[in-house]
Structure 1
Amino acid sequence: MSPLRQVLAEITAARGGVRLDDVARRVGVSRAEVDSMVEYWVRRGRLSTEAIGSGCPSDGCGTCPSTGSCGTAPVGPVLIAITPRPH
């Protein structure tokens, strides 16, 4: 099986979630390659992505990771859910 298909299989099989770093290690490719492969499968309609936890924090702006005014993108990594789509 090609690494591209292995990445899809790893994500599809991980019903409770999987770290993309772990997928990269199991498939034997770099994390950057896994990211590119996920983008490929999203474009092909086999996976979908969604940002998790976006919006204002419940305890106010003092805990917000945003460096600017409201509505700016958070600083640092954003948690993304990647889910299989029926084909």
Structure 2
Amino acid sequence: MSALRQVLEEVRTGRARGLDDLARRVGVSRDEASAMVDHWVRKGRLDVADLSAACSSGGCGSCPSGDHGAPGCGTGDGRPVLLAISVRPPG
């Protein structure tokens, strides 16, 4: 199975718990996994929802997924990046 198809399968089954985990499971870099997710979004097979409204008012450093003031989302630049990736229903 190609890495591109494996990304779709990992999201479909819910095995991957975030982009870093998805990249690790597929054996690609985080950037490559992100590009593959973007590919499937453009093809209409995946949906990506921005969940930044759920971010705390104190910013990433106060996020419960953070670690000692560091953001838990994988970025340190303060941009909200909490996303939900899901399979788009047919039709």
**How far is the alpha carbon of 1:53 from its aligned partner?**
3.9
Pairwise mapping of residues 47-66 of structure 1 onto structure 2 (< 5 A)? 47-54=46-53, 63-65=57-59
Which stretches of structure 1, 4 residues or more, deviate above 4 A after TM superposition? Answer: none
Distance in structure 1 (CA, Å) of the matches to 2:55 and 2:24: 34
User: What is the RMSD computed on CA atoms of the aligned residues?
Assistant: 2.4
* Partner residue in 1 for 2:7: 7
Does structure 1 residue 82 correspond to structure 2 residue 81?
Answer: no
1:64 Cα deviation from its structure 2 partner: 4.4
Structure number with greater Rg is 1
Quick one: structure 1 residues 53 and 7, their matched pair in 2 at CA, closer, same or farther if it must change by over 3 Å?
Answer: same
Letter of the 2:50 counterpart: A
Count of aligned positions: 73
Q: Could you tell me the TM-score, scaled by structure 1's length? A: 0.70
In 2 relative to 1, CA 55–43 (structure 1 residues): closer, same or farther, beyond 3 Å? Answer: same
Question: How far apart, in 1, do the equivalents of 2:14 and 2:43 lie?
Answer: 20
Q: Percent identity?
A: 51
